[in-house]
């Protein structure tokens, strides 16, 4: 893969957001070199006019230092709505760390989403934000399936990073997303992470746009027995699988003594309490950014 990297100037690095978990979205890069096959953010190519395939370009953002960051006090800033703020190039360009340094002491509510253990580099800064939380996207415990889907670090490294952050007193989220019908073992993942996170977020695989055919072809080749199920869900809009999984996980949560909810917007949670499972299956209930361009 040949990677094209550009430097770009942006007027503002913060974008107002209607995501259910944030007031502002923050994306220090355009594009993402983790190259996830299912990434919804590939839609941004319509606006940026990148001719390269998704995962083969990265725009590195530069901005003027934020004036009066204290005006964002109490607001939740979500790092990583359309890119991974800790993609491999962050080690060199340090745009995420630069922004954290600019926001230090501002009183913001910090939320980071990543697939990388590079976030451990910034533990010193993250700990300066009260009640900060760091989420890791983990939708499988099978490294082979993970390698088929993305170029991010291994699941083992993500789990190890989550454990380290938890031990450092930083609140963590396991984002089981996207859930692949018949492939993602949600309960096995929860059992693996429940002692080192405060939240488990659930999101279903939502196929649309150019990557729908990519995923359907992959299922046909690698999981042919599941193809009829995927055709029912994604060609005929049959929601019964998600309804049954919802009921199954609700029962599992009850039997395991875990809370199971459909909306969670509070970052205040007893650090040592069992995680809360939050179901975000129903995309029509999740508002998109007002600008529709969270980059």
291 domain residue, yes or no: no
pLDDT of residue 43: 73
Kindly state the average pLDDT of the residues 166-195: 97
- At 2, the pLDDT band (50, 70, 90 cuts) reads confident
Q: How far apart are CA 293 and CA 62, in angstroms?
A: 17
234 domain residue, yes or no: yes
Each residue's pLDDT tens digit, 86-144 = 999 999 999 999 999 999 999 999 999 999 999 999 999 999 998 899 999 999 999 99
pTM (global) more than 0.95: no
112 domain residue, yes or no: yes
DSSP E strand boundaries for the chain: 4-9, 14-16, 24-26, 29-30, 57-62, 76-79, 109-114, 133-137, 171-179, 199-204, 260-261, 276-279
8 domain residue, yes or no: no
Q: How far apart are CA 141 and CA 131, in angstroms?
A: 28
pLDDT of residue 283: 52
95 domain residue, yes or no: no
182 domain residue, yes or no: yes
70 domain residue, yes or no: yes
Closest listed residue to residue 201, CA positions, set 16, 20, 73: 20
Q: How far apart are CA 285 and CA 280, in angstroms?
A: 8
* CA 60 and chain centroid, separation: 19
24 domain residue, yes or no: no
Task: Let me know: does 85 contact 79? Beta carbons within 8 Å.
Answer: yes
* Sheet-wide strand order for 4-9: 4-9, 57-62, 29-30
Which residue range is the domain that position 239 belongs to?
Answer: 66-78+102-285
Burial class (CB in 10 A: 0-12, 13-18, 19+), 67: exposed
pLDDT of residue 289: 34
Task: Let me know: does 107 contact 73? Beta carbons within 8 Å.
Answer: yes
| DSSP category for residue 1 | -
Burial class (CB in 10 A: 0-12, 13-18, 19+), 270: exposed
Number of domains in the chain: 1
Write the CATH number for 196: 3.80.30
CA quadruple 183, 188, 193, 199: dihedral sign: positive
């Amino acid at each position: 893969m040949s990677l094209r990297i550009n430097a770009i100037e942006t007027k503002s690095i913060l974008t107002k957001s209607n995501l259910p978990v944030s007031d502002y979205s923050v994306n220090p890069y355009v594009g993402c070199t983790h190259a996830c096959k299912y990434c919804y953010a590939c839609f941004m190519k319509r606006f940026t006019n990148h001719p390269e395939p998704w995962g083969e370009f990265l725009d590195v953002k530069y901005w003027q230092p934020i004036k009066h960051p204290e005006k964002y006090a109490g607001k939740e800033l979500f790092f990583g709505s359309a890119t991974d703020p800790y993609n491999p190039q962050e080690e060199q360009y340090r745009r995420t760390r630069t922004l954290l340094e600019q926001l230090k002491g501002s009183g913001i509510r910090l939320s980071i989403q990543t697939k990388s253990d590079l976030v451990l580099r910034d533990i010193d800064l993250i700990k300066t934000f009260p009640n900060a939380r760091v989420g890791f996207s983990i939708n499988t415990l099978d490294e082979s399936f993970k390698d088929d889907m993305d170029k991010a670090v291994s699941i083992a490294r993500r789990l190890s990073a989550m454990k380290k952050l938890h031990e450092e007193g930083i609140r963590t989220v396991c984002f089981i997303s996207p859930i692949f019908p018949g492939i993602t073992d949600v309960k096995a993942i929860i059992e693996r992470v429940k002692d080192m996170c405060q939240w488990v977020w659930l999101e279903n695989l939502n196929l649309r746009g150019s990557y729908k055919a990519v995923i359907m072809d992959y299922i046909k080749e690698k999981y042919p027995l599941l193809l009829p199920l995927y055709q029912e869900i994604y060609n005929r809009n049959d929601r019964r699988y998600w309804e049954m999984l919802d009921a199954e996980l609700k029962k599992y949560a009850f039997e395991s003594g875990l809370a199971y909810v459909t909306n969670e917007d509070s970052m205040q949670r007893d650090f040592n309490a069992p995680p809360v499972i939050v179901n975000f299956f129903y995309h029509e209930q999740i508002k998109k950014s007002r600008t529709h361009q969270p980059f």
